[in-house]
Structure 1
């Protein structure tokens, strides 16, 4: 039994892998318990649906292009496709062995558009394990004319990090490669050696390339989460001792950060909720509270090195204060590093947010279950003694929120008082 649609006294039972036919009033049961009575006069419809032409066990990837489902035949240079608007039927086959030059096999396919939607300018992209991309246009792979199916060109990327390591940005297709996250639109205009200059991950290029070399034995994945305004790049743990990290990019500003403690072997967005699986088969849901599997989450910001408009002068930062806009409790700590050497103090303890209005913690007839969410207010403003001396300064902010509540804190600005040293001749 695949699915039960319960309408009360009647309903629909969807089943598969059956032998024989039904008779009126036959009792249908499943291994998980429960039963249903087949009502032949009322109508029992048996639908036989299958994909033929290629063994489905050999299909390794699927995507939608111009109302057709396309498939990759794993380990080969062949792709398959179904008729328009179909999920079953006979598969057609495209052999791309003569298109690519570096060998390998097809890894994945996708749709690339010159605008932000689906339309007649959409193109079908095939990418190999060796980092070659073939781009086709047209709507009928079985057609005999260029208007129906036409090879636009073959372009060089570097090796992709996985068949699910892609992301749509508007109409463009972003592919995570060894050199970074590269738009297909850049690949058609630049040599493969220069693609890192066009990568949206350029700001973290050294970190990206280092982790790509360390973790290339396992496939990476990319998930875009529009409601949270970020995209997350999984960094699977491929060897003993590797850190549980993920790269995260702000979709609006392009700023990058690193999530520590997320051992993401695979990752998926379902019903606008983020889930990821680890190497040991555990599934976690992300961004639902202020703790990481019951452990505090430490938020860390390190600013860019700043000469503070006095290049080459020794200076001492005496005091600093930070301003925040927040609606949830948090504990901040301000510090400075000097002369390009980042040194962070111990992170602050978790904030005390109380348990009065938390489900399963608040007292009955006391907690306000329907209480409106608190409004964000300006906080901070207290001067903190720093006492750091150097030529170049880097402001640092560490914050720890309330363990049982997802934080809502915005770092607005930091003010500093400092003194320049005298010039010795």
Structure 2
């Protein structure tokens, strides 16, 4: 946390929010007067959680991985404040106290994930067409996964929202032997998906929906065909 105590006016690189300085500047300019700004360090997951009160009941979080110093955006936790209790993160909502990072479900709703990697030219400044994309995943269930490629610094998410259909596993002392489905540990998968996007730079996009299962995104592969300058 020592970096957070140094003055970003002298050198912006010492600011822990340097990687998201434009998002931070926009959030502070638009919502700086709102109640609910707070910062929480969560040691168990090596996370620094910054609560951003967009509007009453519409809070989001900017979350930094304290190992890689990279940031992401959490939505769906409508927190007015945060606190650690017995090293677990709790947040105060409107009329309730919630325990974050507890299990693999969001109350009764799906956990929706969205990831957009950085835009890269992949070794050539020529125009190219992405043909296929493959995500290396690990899961103990069957998550809903959608893959695509954004081109030329377009940050928009133009795909539909996913819904998750849970697989029913047997319960010990309840499920029928030789009929109930056994649960499993994390199993790797890497399925190719077809895409047709054309551009000069690509950024792989992934959307997921899960409920009651674990999901880890490990790596991404692309297949593309190089074209000409125009």
Counterpart in 2 of 1:183?
Answer: 4
TM-score by length of 2: 0.85
Does the alignment pair 1:337 with 2:150? yes
Q: Matched residues in 1 for 2:163 and 2:204: separation?
A: 20
Does the 8 A contact of 2:59 with 2:80 survive in 1? no
Superposed, 1:258-269 pairs within 5 Å as 258-269=73-84
8 A Cα contact 2:151 2:201, kept in partner:
yes
* Unaligned runs of at least 5 residues, structure 1: 1-168, 173-181
1:390 and 2:199 aligned: yes
Structure 2: which 5+ runs fail to align? none
Please tell me whether Structure 1 or Structure 2 has the larger radius of gyration of its CA atoms: 1
Q: Over the residues paired in the alignment, what is the CA RMSD in angstroms?
A: 2.6
Which of 216, 236, 239 aligns to 2:53? It is 236
**Contact 1:290–1:296 (CA under 8 A) maintained in structure 2:** no
Q: Deviations over 1:251-301 (max 9, x none)?
A: 1111100111212211112123321112x3322221223333322221111
In the alignment, does 2:225 pair up with 1:419? Answer: yes
1:224 maps onto 2:41 in alignment: yes
1:286 aligns with 2:92: no
Kindly indicate whether residue 9 of structure 2 is the aligned counterpart of residue 193 of structure 1.
yes
- Shift of residue 408, structure 1, vs aligned partner: 2.7
* Aligned residue number for residue 347 of structure 1: 161
Relative contact order, higher structure (CA 8 A, sep 6+):
2
Asked whether the 8 Å contact 2:169–2:183 carries over to 1, the reply is: no
Tell me the TM-score normalised to structure 1 length: 0.48
Corresponding residue of 1:207: 23
Q: How many residues align?
A: 224
- Relative to structure 1, the CA distance from residue 328 to residue 355 in structure 2 (aligned partners, 3 Å threshold; closer, same or farther) is closer
2:129 corresponds to which of 310, 316, 326: 316
Aligned to 2:116: 302
Answering whether residue 191 of structure 2 is matched by residue 377 of structure 1, we say: no
SS in 2 for 1:387: coil
